[in-house]
Chain A
Amino acid sequence: MRLVAFAACVTVALGIAGCGPGTDDAHRVVIWHQMRPDERDVLQRQIDRYMSTHPGVTVVQVYKETETLRSGYIIGSIAGQGPDMVYGPSDPIGVYEATKTIRPMEDLFTRDYLADFDSSGQVWYKGHLYMLADKIGNHLALVYNKKYVARPPTTDRELITLCQQIQNRYGYTAGRPNVYGLAWNYTEPFFFIPFFTGFGGWIFGPDGVTPTLDTPAMIQALRYVRDLRDVYKIIPGESDYEIADALFKDGKTAMLINGDWSWAGYREKGMDIGVAPLPLIVETGRWCAPMTSPKGYSINVNVPPAKMALVLDVLKYLLSEQNQLETTRALNTAPTRRSVYQNPDVRNDEILMNSLLQIQRGRPMPVVPEMRAIWDAMRPSYQAVMGGTERPEQAAKDMQSLAERKIRDMME
């Protein structure tokens, strides 16, 4: 009989372990993010300081890869679980709102508190504040190695000429430049946007949700990027993020188009780098405008009211002036608090000032859920053009029809 009771207990215990809800620790705040290692280090230092002054409170940061973070957060939150806060760029806010997985935050902060935040650091969507950021930008710019480039180019013609000069100066081996002029991740449409905007294009029409991908600007931009590789031969034959990054770090490309998240890493590696805004396309008279987006914190809809005060305290601490200044100094990222910009360290930072100029010339990334369909529709045809299997004219048509179909599927 004792054995029967034991088996029954095992059954019940297994049942509880397998199906029961997770524990809700009122003194433990969990943050999911997709930060790079150097960002994580800064965050951990800040968390450690908070915990040292708040005995009994545990703050845990958990790294997740971008896509895993989004899907894992949505699924977890719908199941009534997930972290207390989710950190990342603003583009999934529309998806989080559509799935009702984050809570509006406007009731949690006073107007005076929010007044110190740059408007681009507050993500309002459908009349609600859904994210409060500690960084703005998350944008691309031209990073150059000062060993090869004394003065960065300001127009695309200067860029092409400079790249060719550098490649000729350092010679070729087996038909391949020993030092490329320029490299970037040309498999991802996010990196293509500056060229698209440089030719006068934008992903959505005036209503902010109707795709406008089948346009002359798209065709011109696709042709232009392909020509940089096949006609001007100033970029590598194949280049994803890792390859472009490695080429720059190894001194095998003079210039790189990369985001503000990467610059501190290059400096830490001992490289003498400069950052400049992306060039002007002479043909159109327009600047290449990257997408910009704030990176910040949103609060899980499942945070119980009793725990909200603690979560809010941690959030306010992480967004404090002192911590933003520390982050800016360590990572060269643009802060969201206006008061931080008064600090001489920030005002005299050449990279940061050029970064801010690039942000001014950029365009905010829409946060609507339709954005997802745009990326998924652009990627295959953009890659097909770069792979030589599709013409730019057909690619633009395919992107448009695929984006429309994906949005229709999403909304049906």
Chain B
Amino acid sequence: MYTRRDRMFIAFLVVPSFILLGAVVLYPFIYNLILSFGNMNLTRIRDWQIIGIRQYVKILTEPMQPGFYDIFFKTIIWTVVNVVFHVTLGVFLALLLNQKVRGKSIYRTLLIIPWAIPQYIVALTWRGMFNYEYGAINLILTKYLSLPAVEWLKSPTEAFIACILTNIWLGFPFMMVVALGALQSIPQELYEAADIDGATWYHKLTKVTIPLIRPVMVPAITLGMIWTFNSLNIIWLVTNTGEPSDKTHILVSFVYKAAFNFYNFSQAAALSIFIFLILLTFSLIFMRRSKATEAAY
């Protein structure tokens, strides 16, 4: 039983965290919510007013450049493709590294490098590599693979693919490290028992490995989804702020542009609320469906 004095002490220890969270999470969130119902833009930055749900209606019904639904669709593609590749590549490489391989630590270090390099350096390096005439990618395609050069950064689709390729390269090490940790925690006896039962490689993967790494991978995938959905740097830097023609934006990059390039703060706030609702819904459904919180054993 806690005494009144203990409870007071606990409360005072917790209060700073609450104040900090309130200042850096709750207050900005509520302010953003209020802003999304207002008309704060360049000309009304000091005397903005509440105008109701007009920003939301405008986003959903009025044509924008680029259109909201286009950006939303691109964001879904961006997130799903990236995370699928991150997880597939990450788990595949983790399975390889979990074997008895010579020079395992060297491979592991090399594979973690993309994750260790600052994102903006990765993005700008890849941007240079995607140059039509002088970039390494086209030089490899034309010189060594006898394929035609691709105009990576000039056309919207190719530019978007370029961003995805960069982000895949950047993101798989995280999943690999998580999966490797999960694999190493699986008791060897389970595989030995499976061997005795005559299980094939495929059976061991689907009946032992995947179920046992799931509790670790599901939160990692959820985080990966949220991070990728909210990943501004790669799109912003590889395509130089959404080029060409603002056709490579995902939701967060467009929010950033709306707020800090167009000074349309209320529109950006309304878009941010959409992003929040999408991610909240996804996280709740994904966590519930995947039963991530249930024990594996």
Which residues from chain A contact B43 at a C-beta distance below 8 Å? 98, 369, 410-411
Which B243-272 residues sit within 8 Å CB-CB of chain A? 243-247, 259-264, 267
| In contact, B154 and A11 (Cβ under 8 angstroms) | no
Bound: A95/B267 CA distance, A:
18
Enumerate B40-65 residues with CB–CB distance to A below 8 Å. 41-43, 45-46, 65
B106 at interface (Cβ–Cβ under 8 A)?
no
Complex Cα distance, B41 from A10, in Å, reads: 38
Assuming the contacts A4-B8, A18-B23, A379-B245, asked whether A409 and B264 have C-beta atoms less than 8 A apart, the reply is yes
Q: Do B9 and A4 have beta carbons less than 8 Å apart?
A: yes
Q: Which residues does chain A contribute within 8 Å of B133, judged by CB atoms?
A: 176, 236-238
Task: Decide: A4 near B12, CB < 8 A? Known: A187-B240, A381-B245, A386-B154.
Answer: yes
Category for how many chain A residues contact B: 35 or more
Contacts of B42 in A (CB 8 A): 95, 98-99, 369, 372, 410
User: Is the Cβ of A238 less than 8 Å from the Cβ of B260?
Assistant: no
Q: Can you list, as one digit per residue, whether each of B8-24 has a CB less than 8 Å from chain A (1) or not (0)?
A: 11001101100110011
A3, A68, A98, A387: the one contacting B155 at CB < 8 Å is A387
- The answer on a CB contact under 8 Å between A10 and B16 is yes
A11: chain B residues at CB < 8 Å are: 12, 15-16, 19
B257's closest neighbor in chain A, by CB? A376
- Is A238 within 8 A of B132, CB to CB? yes
Q: DSSP class of B's interface residues: helix, strand, loop or mixed? A: loop
Q: CB-CB < 8 A to A379: which residues of B?
A: 243, 245-246
The residue that A238 contacts in the complex, of B15, B16, B131, with Cβ under 8 A, is B131
Separation of A98 and B42 alpha carbons in the complex (Å): 7
Q: How far is the CB of A22 from chain B (nearest CB, A)?
A: 16
Chain A positions within 8 Å of B297 at CB level: none
Whether A7 lies near B153 (C-beta < 8 A) is: no
Q: With A3-B9, A78-B46, A380-B247 in contact, do A67 and B260 touch (Cβ < 8 Å)? A: yes
CA distance A380 to B66 in the complex (A): 10
Q: How far is the CA of A78 from the CA of B132 in the complex (A)?
A: 43
By beta carbon, the residue of chain B nearest A72 is B260
Check: A44 CB closer than 8 A to any chain B CB: no
Which residue in B132, B244, B264 is a CB contact (below 8 Å) of A380? B244
Check A238/B153 contact, CB under 8 A, given A99-B46, A402-B65: yes
Q: Given A238-B153, A379-B245, A387-B155, A372 and B65 touching (CB < 8 A)?
A: no
Tally chain B residues at the interface, Cβ within 8 Å.
41
Least CB distance, A173 to chain B, in whole angstroms: 11
* Chain B residue at minimum C-beta to C-beta distance from A401: B65
A7-B9, A67-B260, A74-B263 known; A238-B245 Cβ under 8 A: no
Q: Is B134 an interface residue (CB 8 A)?
A: yes
Q: Would you give the 0/1 interface string for A372-412, flagging 1 where the beta carbon is closer than 8 Å to chain B?
A: 10001001110110111110000000000010011001111
* Per-position binary interface string of chain B over residues 128-158, scored 1 when its CB falls under 8 Å from any chain A CB and 0 otherwise: 1001111000000010000000010111100
In the complex, whether B39 has a CB less than 8 A from a CB of chain A is: yes
A88 to B156, CA, bound (A): 32
Cβ–Cβ contact B46 & A100, under 8 A: yes
Let me know if A158 is at the binding interface, CB within 8 A: no
Residues of A within 8 A of B262 (CB): 372, 376, 406, 409-410
Q: Given A14-B19, A15-B19, A74-B45, decide whether A383 and B263 contact each other with a Cβ distance below 8 A.
A: no
Q: Which residues of A contact B259 (CB under 8 A)?
A: 71
Q: Are A67 and B261 in contact (CB under 8 A)?
A: yes
In Å, the complex CA distance between A411 and B224 comes to: 39
Q: Are A7 and B13 also in contact (CB < 8 A) when A369-B43, A380-B65 are?
A: yes
Q: Is A231 part of the contact surface with B, judged by Cβ < 8 Å?
A: no
Looking at the complex, which one of A19, A237, A409 makes contact with B132 (CB distance below 8 Å)? A237
A18–B24 contact, CB under 8 A? yes
Q: Rank and list the top 5 A-B pairs by shortest CB-CB distance, nearest first.
A: A380-B245, A7-B12, A238-B132, A71-B260, A383-B244
B interface with A by C-beta (< 8 Å): 8-9, 12-13, 15-16, 19-20, 23-24, 39, 41-43, 45-46, 65, 128, 131-134, 142, 151, 153-156, 240, 243-247, 259-264, 267
Q: Could you jot down 8 A-B contacts, CB within 8 Å?
A: A3-B12, A11-B19, A71-B261, A74-B263, A99-B45, A242-B128, A387-B154, A409-B267
Q: A14-B20, A380-B65, A410-B262 are in contact. List 5 more A-B contacts (CB 8 A).
A: A7-B15, A71-B260, A238-B154, A372-B262, A372-B263
